[in-house]
Amino acid sequence: MRRLLAGLLAVLVLAGCTARPADRPAPAALAGGAATLPGPVPADLALRPPPGDAPAAPAFTGGLTDGTPLTAARLWADRPVVFTFFSSWCTTCADRQDALSELARRHRDRVVFVGVAGADQADELQDYLRTHRVEYPVVVDEQQTVWRSYAVREPPAVVLVAKGGALLRGWPGGLDAAALEQRLGELVLAGSG
CA gap 117, 147 in Å, rounded:
9
CA gap 85, 2 in Å, rounded:
63
CA gap 61, 44 in Å, rounded:
29
- Residue 90 has what pLDDT? 97
- Residue 192 has what pLDDT? 56
- Residue 154 has what pLDDT? 95
What domains can be seen in the chain, in order of their start residue?
34-187 (3.40.30.10)
CA 175 to chain centre: 17
- Residue 117 has what pLDDT? 97
Residue 61's DSSP bridge partners are: 71
* Mean pLDDT for back-to-back runs of 10 residues, the chain (193 residues): 45 43 58 93 93 95 96 96 97 97 95 95 96 97 96 97 96 95 93 58
- Residue 119 has what pLDDT? 87
- Residue 28 has what pLDDT? 63
Q: Sign of dihedral through CA atoms 120, 124, 127, 128?
A: negative
